[in-house]
Amino acid sequence: MTQQIMSTPSPLPEVQQLSPADISRCLRAGLRDFLRAPAFGLLFAGFYVCGGIVLWLVLTAAGKEWWLMPFILGFPLLAPFAAVGLYEVSRRIEAGRPLIWREVIGVVFAQKDRQIPSMAVVILLMFMFWVFVAHTIFALFMGMQAMTLVTSSPAILFHGNGPAMLAVGSLIGAGFALALFSFTVAGLPLLLERDVDFISAIILSVRCVMLNPGVMLMWGALIGLLLFAAMVPLFLGLFVALPVLGHASWHMYRRLTL
């Protein structure tokens, strides 16, 4: 009779307390990793830049540019998953291991048999639900007819119910972003580094946020602002912002856990 060998789950790391100074340290480390291996960052960011440009071209051709609004505002929800390959690059730089394309890409693809796809489902479901909620809020405040006027007359957002819609939508969107940020800030890199289930990773990630609420709020707000600013010039700023923040997020994870 063949005995099935079960893998032993990795122990969860201890959560550490941080200071605001750790944010600048992580950003510097992220920039250093990007400059050390820029080709990897440009490749992984390229998928999102190209996807954003294609989406913009398709919606512009269809005369439905207003659909871009919830996708742009919700992009920070997807950004953590985009950073998985960058985590691996930073992990190898940290360990002094060679950055071989075949091995790095192989590690990324190997995640399909682990717990990261389960986390990806959580991210994508929350993102799609945010898109639905954003359109619902717009329709409730502005009416269906106003949706077709946003790109030709964006001033309608600042008249009548527009300011109230923007305020409510921003608050709800911030809630979505905060929840998903809490799930992934330490959860995704933990799943890459250790053999744990995604529920345990989410719980530990939330503990990291609860122990460092001020620092994590600052870090999350900074990520959102930089990503939003990077999308303004036709998404091209993501070629720099996404890799730097992805590498920096790995270093933030290393400071959060021991």
Q: What is the DSSP string of 64-121?
A: -GGGHHHHHHHHHHHHHHHTHHHHHHHHHHHHT----HHHHHHHHHHGGGSSHHHHHH
The answer to whether position 1 is within a domain reads no
CB of 72 closer than 8 Å to CB of 130: no
Q: Assess if residue 187 is contained within a domain.
A: yes
Kindly state whether residue 11 falls inside one of the protein's structural domains: no
Q: Is residue 94 in some structural domain?
A: yes
Q: Is residue 9 part of a domain?
A: no
Q: How many domains does the structure of the chain reveal?
A: 1
165 part of a folded domain: yes
Prediction pTM value = 0.83
Give the residue carrying structure tokens 């998404």: 235
Give a yes or no: residue 23 inside a domain.
no
Tens-level pLDDT at each residue, the chain (258 residues): 334 444 567 788 999 999 999 999 999 999 999 999 999 999 988 888 887 787 777 767 656 655 566 666 666 556 666 688 999 999 999 999 999 999 998 988 888 888 888 888 888 888 888 878 888 888 888 775 555 555 555 566 666 777 888 888 888 888 888 998 999 999 999 999 999 999 999 999 999 999 999 999 999 999 989 988 888 877 889 999 999 999 999 999 999 997
Residue 94: both structure tokens together: 């940290």
The 3-state DSSP class for residue 46 equals: helix
Answer whether residue 185 is part of any domain. Answer: yes
Instruction: Specify the DSSP class assigned to residue 15.
Output: B
CA distances from 114 to 90, 107, 183, 196 (A): 20, 11, 17, 9
Helix, strand, coil % in the chain, rounded to nearest 5 = 80, 0, 20
| Host domain of residue 141 | 30-256
